[in-house]
Structure 1
Amino acid sequence: MAVSEFHGSQHVIVHEDDSTDHPYDTTGAGGTESAPHIVVILAVGHSESTSRELKQALRRHPQSQPLMLALKRDDDDAARLIRSGARGYVAISEPPRAFMTAITAIASGTLFVPLSLQESFAVRYLCPGNDQPESQLTSRELSVLRLLAEGLCNKEVAARLFISVKTVDTHRMNLMRKLGLRTNVDIVRFAIRRELIEL
């Protein structure tokens, strides 16, 4: 693992193996996507500041799959960070197995929150005013949505995510279908409304 820091948060890059491939390459030899690049972020600053840093990090490395490790559980912070692009949230008060379960879940493309948070989040999702439609997207679809909303074309998105243009188009069609969007303008409006990108 490699450790580095940015502003008030520390992040640990988790590699699946010790290969010499590019650390941000998400394609295998056959052109298919390999295991995601998981980044464990220790949130030690203000939650809004951490959320901004997370969004900035995702713009620089949109293929990363962030797991937030919180010093203290906060349901509102968890919701904010996941909305900002985190693929998981674990407080250090959780049992050690929760951390490893989170890594495994995110590696398989699943959004992870521990059982202690699921009831709280279920209430959020069931309340009409708190619905988060982007939660139904896969991590890759969410990355594609963000980049398209920032004005990148399919070819540019493909280059940033190290996938083919055809794969980008497939993700684009799937996310638009799931969210009920019809045009790129709809994608931009949705991303702004849901605070998935910064203006």
Structure 2
Amino acid sequence: MAGPVIGDDGVARCPWGAGDPVNLAYHDTEWGMPVDGEAAHLERLTLEAFQSGLSWLTILNKRPAFREVFAGFDADVVAGFDEADTERLMAEPRIVRNRRKIDAAVANARATVALREQGGLVDFLWSFRPDETPAPRDTAEMATTSAESIALSRALKKIGFAHVGPTTMYALMEAIGIVDDHLVGCHRRGSSGVWASAQ
């Protein structure tokens, strides 16, 4: 277990965000912050699914390519992908070439389009926000699932989403501020504005 790490700049950060500069930039500017719009939410959901079994740094380094080949995560465009597109993506060395995850990304885009009739992906995801956010003091206290992430996973699977297990959905909830899992003492804790008393 580890608590916040003081960087060379004198700033306290979550341990994972205190090393590699790509991780540090993501930690300091994006992780735990709400995003705007359907495409941004679909992007985070898709990338979290691709991350399964890999390091997040791998995904961050490949994110520009993911954005390019998945049309900026425009659900309408990705929902129209066919077998030829799958083969194209499987031959693309700049992304994670996993057929199951690629198929899931297309299925999730189609499910996102269909979900618009029920209010849309953004409202659906945020409807699983808990009443309180965790307040981990060290990495040993950080959860990997929650009752809400389990419920979200089940609800998404029921309406056609794939590769959205409880752990992946908890990572998504952390990434977009549905929960604030910056460690107590990290300079980013409470920065999302979602949890005003999360310090």
TM-score, normalisation: structure 1: 0.30
TM-score, normalisation: structure 2: 0.30
Higher relative contact order (CA 8 A, sep 6+): 2
Which structure's residues are more often strand, by fraction? 1
